[in-house]
Amino acid sequence: MKYEALTFTIGDLPGISSKTIENHLGLYEGYVKHVNLIHEKVAAFSHDLENNAFAIAEMQRRLGFEFCGMRNHEYYFAQLEGGPKALPEGALRDKIESQFGSVDAWLESFKLITKTRGVGWVMLYHDPHTDQLAQTWVDEQHLGQLADLDIILALDMWEHSYMMDYPSGEKGLYVDAFFANLNWEVVASRMT
Any idea what the Cα angle at residue 114 is, between residues 148 and 137, rounded to 5°?
A: 25
CB 96 within 8 A of CB 106: yes
Residue 168 neighbours by CB under 8 Å, 6+ apart = 159
Among 156, 175, 178, 187, binds Fe ion (CB under 5 A): 156
Any idea what the Cα angle at residue 157 is, between residues 152 and 163, rounded to 5°?
A: 140
The least CB distance from residue 158 to Fe ion, in Å, is: 5
Number of residues that bind Fe ion (CB under 5 A): 2
CB 183 within 8 A of CB 80: yes
User: CB-wise, 125 or 162, nearer to Fe ion?
Assistant: 162
Q: How far apart are CA 192 and CA 88, in angstroms?
A: 15
- Among the candidate windows 93-101, 107-115, 143-151, 154-162, which touches Fe ion by CB under 5 A? 154-162
The least CB distance from residue 56 to Fe ion, in Å, is: 27
The least CB distance from residue 55 to Fe ion, in Å, is: 27
158 lines the binding site for Fe ion (CB under 5 A): yes
CA-closest candidate to residue 72, choices 132, 16, 124: 124
User: CB-wise, 106 or 158, nearer to Fe ion?
Assistant: 158
75 lines the binding site for Fe ion (CB under 5 A): no
178 lines the binding site for Fe ion (CB under 5 A): no
- Among the candidate windows 46-54, 55-63, 149-157, 171-179, which touches Fe ion by CB under 5 A? 149-157
- List the beta bridge partners of residue 120: 139
- Among the candidate windows 12-20, 38-46, 111-119, 150-158, which touches Fe ion by CB under 5 A? 150-158
Q: How far apart are CA 158 and CA 144, in angstroms?
A: 15
* Footprint on this chain of Fe ion (rule: CB under 5 A): 156, 158
